[in-house]
Chain A
């Protein structure tokens, strides 16, 4: 295996050794999918939306993946910034550190999405399993981009995690099915992925245009994350 892959495995191992991360990896999908699906429907009704039933459960799995991925993306940057910079200086270079971090992030995203998908499968089932899993993964990858971007500008754990949670709340409660198509929903990053997930939950396939859009958004989010990791590992001016 290459130095980048091995270093990425070390970064992944570091996250998975945190007991709280493992507990949240199980607890958050359970909360969003099992416990909150009906509440999500009531919230949607109150906000003027219409999501309910299996679509609400599927959307809950997407939000669980997004929430976890955003938080872990933030901490990947903020908690290891100085150590990553030292490793880059030792000869790894900022670009290779960034690629190793992206490998670890994508692996985390796949793991988070698998747990959220499995929770959904066990609690409500999935009419379109492949569509559902990919849409959940898009939620996770999008929020890895958001979390790392926040982490590259905000170093404080409290301020950074609150910022990620704030973006998450606006995104979740203004998204498709949750409100009456507010203008802010049109610019939120998970809007198309939410459309795909709601359709998959209802047993409907999504148009090819939506799949192209979510693919581009996920690619853009990972490019953003790579830039944030690179920026954090290079020499700074202040």
Chain B
């Protein structure tokens, strides 16, 4: 079900950061014209070494970080799973689903059905009344992923979404991703590894601030 029109297109993205205080203040160029495309029904990988700028590019594409130059075009509903779970420590799993259901403008039954289905699919429904501070790292990561998926986005952006998953959950994650790709969702996954190459339709490697299709 791969479409021809890109659901995400980034071109010539540039980003640099200023670090330190004078006289040691330095400008660090991270992205120097990076670009990529994701189409509907496509599972695309973005790989690169530590510090290559993968998360920076992802944050720019998502809209969390402003770019210095370049263009980003997105189409449809966006789902974003950050590298580190961004959650509220004292709220429960169910309260997180409710908070995000309001942000996604999901009504009562649709919200309950979406959260119930994801809790079952990722097998953490017994934790729905637990506060985040009471959860293991892996369960937090499951919630982090579930919150990105609960409104059935057209484009899913995942920044190393399986860190902390056990092997069984890791395999389930790929099953979920492949099923959603089959339903027409465009998915971009940031990873350190090229070991998942056979699961991906295309791979971009970020090197020297630019993306090259591997």
Which of A's residues lie within 8 Å of B, judged by CB? 3, 6-7, 10-11, 13-15, 17-18, 79-80, 82-83, 85-87, 89-92, 235-238
Known: A10-B91, A13-B90, A80-B88. A85 touches B64 (CB 8 A): yes
Q: Specify which of B80, B88, B95, B105 is in contact with A89 (CB 8 Å cutoff).
A: B80
Q: Specify which of A17, A82, A237 is in contact with B90 (CB 8 Å cutoff).
A: A17
Is B131 on the interface with A (CB-CB < 8 A)? yes
Is B103 on the interface with A (CB-CB < 8 A)? yes
Is B63 on the interface with A (CB-CB < 8 A)? yes
Q: Specify which of A7, A79, A89 is in contact with B64 (CB 8 Å cutoff).
A: A89
The answer to whether B99 and A7 have CB atoms under 8 Å apart is yes
Contact residues in B for A7 (Cβ distance below 8 Å): 99, 102
Which of A17, A82, A86, A92 has its CB near the most chain B CB atoms (within 10 A)?
A86
Known: A3-B102, A17-B131. A236 touches B65 (CB 8 A): yes
Contact residues in B for A236 (Cβ distance below 8 Å): 64-66
The answer to whether B80 and A87 have CB atoms under 8 Å apart is no
Which of B18, B88, B98, B147 has its CB near the most chain A CB atoms (within 10 A)?
B88
The tally of residues in B whose CB lies under 8 Å from a CB in A reads 27
Q: Specify which of A79, A82, A87, A235 is in contact with B99 (CB 8 Å cutoff).
A: A87
Is B122 on the interface with A (CB-CB < 8 A)? no
Known: A91-B104, A236-B65. A18 touches B86 (CB 8 A): no
Q: How far is the CB of B67 from chain A (nearest CB, A)?
A: 9
B 82-125 to A, binary, CB cutoff 8 A, 1 in contact else 0: 10101111110001001110111100000000000000000000
The answer to whether B103 and A90 have CB atoms under 8 Å apart is yes
Contact residues in B for A10 (Cβ distance below 8 Å): 88, 91, 95, 98-99
Is B17 on the interface with A (CB-CB < 8 A)? yes
Closest to B150 in A: A90
Contact residues in B for A80 (Cβ distance below 8 Å): 88
Is B200 on the interface with A (CB-CB < 8 A)? no
In the complex, the number of residue pairs spanning A and B with C-beta atoms less than 8 Å apart equals 66
Known: A89-B64, A90-B100, A90-B103. A83 touches B18 (CB 8 A): no
Is B62 on the interface with A (CB-CB < 8 A)? yes
Closest to A14 in B: B90
Known: A86-B82, A89-B63, A235-B64. A14 touches B88 (CB 8 A): yes
Cα distance A184–B204 in the bound complex, in angstroms = 59
Q: How far is the CB of A56 from chain B (nearest CB, A)?
A: 36
Q: How far is the CB of A15 from chain B (nearest CB, A)?
A: 8
Q: Specify which of B18, B86, B100 is in contact with A82 (CB 8 Å cutoff).
A: B86
Cα distance A91–B84 in the bound complex, in angstroms = 20
13 new A-B contacts, CB < 8 A, other than A86-B80, A89-B63, A238-B18, are A7-B99, A7-B102, A13-B90, A13-B95, A18-B90, A80-B88, A82-B82, A82-B86, A85-B86, A89-B80, A91-B103, A91-B105, A237-B65
List 21 interface pairs A-B (beta carbons < 8 Å), by A numbering: A3-B102, A3-B103, A7-B102, A10-B95, A10-B99, A11-B88, A13-B90, A14-B88, A18-B90, A82-B84, A86-B64, A89-B63, A90-B80, A90-B147, A91-B103, A92-B102, A92-B103, A235-B64, A235-B66, A237-B66, A238-B17
